[in-house]
């Protein structure tokens, strides 16, 4: 009987220890957004959220600023794309190509 009690005590301690150990974590590095080629109009330009790895990386010096474009496509749906170019403005016509390039029109 003492052996059974010791086994149950060890099992209880192991179970409690498992509750307090940190769960495995994976790094979030960006958000995958749907993409379809076509023509549209820029509705807004805003700073793109930083990936988690870059968010804690200091003052941002030496990094590239990203801009998030909200684009209303000609078929009425909205698309959001990130670019490192500050050359896009609200109201501007753009083309999203099949190879994920943004062109001005």
Q: Is residue 83 domain-resident? A: yes
What residues contact residue 7 under an 8 Å CB cut-off, 6+ apart? none
With beta carbons less than 8 A apart as the criterion, state whether 68 and 47 touch.
yes
Q: Above 90 in pLDDT, residue 45?
A: yes
Instruction: Give the residue numbers spanning the domain of 93.
Output: 38-54+63-98
CATH of the domain at 92: 2.40.50
CA distance 47 to 54: 14
pLDDT for res 49: 85
Q: Above 60 in pLDDT, residue 2?
A: no
Q: What is the pLDDT of residues 61-91, one digit of tens each?
A: 456 788 999 999 999 999 999 898 999 999 9
Phi, psi values for residue 14, rounded to 5°: -65, -40
Question: How many other β-carbons are positioned within 10 Å of the β-carbon of residue 94?
Answer: 19
Q: Is residue 3 domain-resident? A: no
Closest-CA residue to 69 (of 25, 98, 103): 103
């Amino acid at each position: 009987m003492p052996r059974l009690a010791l086994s149950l005590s060890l099992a209880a301690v192991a179970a409690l220890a498992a509750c307090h150990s940190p769960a495995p974590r994976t790094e979030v590095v960006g958000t995958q957004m749907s993409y379809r080629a076509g023509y549209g109009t820029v509705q807004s330009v805003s700073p793109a959220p930083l990936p988690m790895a870059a968010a804690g990386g200091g003052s941002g010096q030496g990094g590239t600023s990203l801009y998030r474009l909200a684009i209303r496509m000609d078929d009425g749906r909205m698309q959001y794309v990130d670019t490192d170019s500050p050359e896009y403005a609200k109201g501007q016509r753009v083309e999203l190509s099949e190879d994920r390039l943004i062109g001005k029109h």
